[in-house]
Amino acid sequence: MATAIVLYDNYLLHQGNKLIDLENDVLKVMLTTSTYVPNAGTDDFKDDVTNEVTGDNYVAGGATIANNVYTLTGASDWATLDGDDVTWANSTITARIAVIYDSTPATDATRPLIGYMDFASDQSTSGTDFVIQWNASGILRHTIV
């Protein structure tokens, strides 16, 4: 499933203040139920995220985004974050929101949120793979002007 990423308002502030290193920090994606209602304006750290899913083959805190890379394409004026698609194999879970955050800091109160995806409806698996397939253009892009 590929869906657009909505950035949390404080994401760029956190990146500018060196709280997030998109290429070298451990980035994770966690799943929540429909009862978590993201507030891009006020949610800023992982401790603001509620109602994480539970289920077979889902570990609290979510999954690591492997091979994250942050690149600049000067000719097209893009800075792009990309990484491997994420799979919870043989899982039994129901999720509505996927939250991307930097898990490198020590506590949930200091782990900056980056963005989230709303699947628009509950997505469920029952002993099958739950897959987040990032957009072919990358997880997120910034226009550089």
Q: Quick one: what percent of the chain has pLDDT higher than 70?
A: 97
Question: Is 119 in contact with 45 (CB distance < 8 Å)?
Answer: no
pTM of the prediction? Answer: 0.94
Whether the predicted pLDDT of 3 surpasses 80: no
Mean pLDDT across 119-124 = 96
pLDDT at residue 86 tops 70: yes
SS3 call for 12:
helix
| pLDDT bucket at 2, cuts 50 / 70 / 90 | low
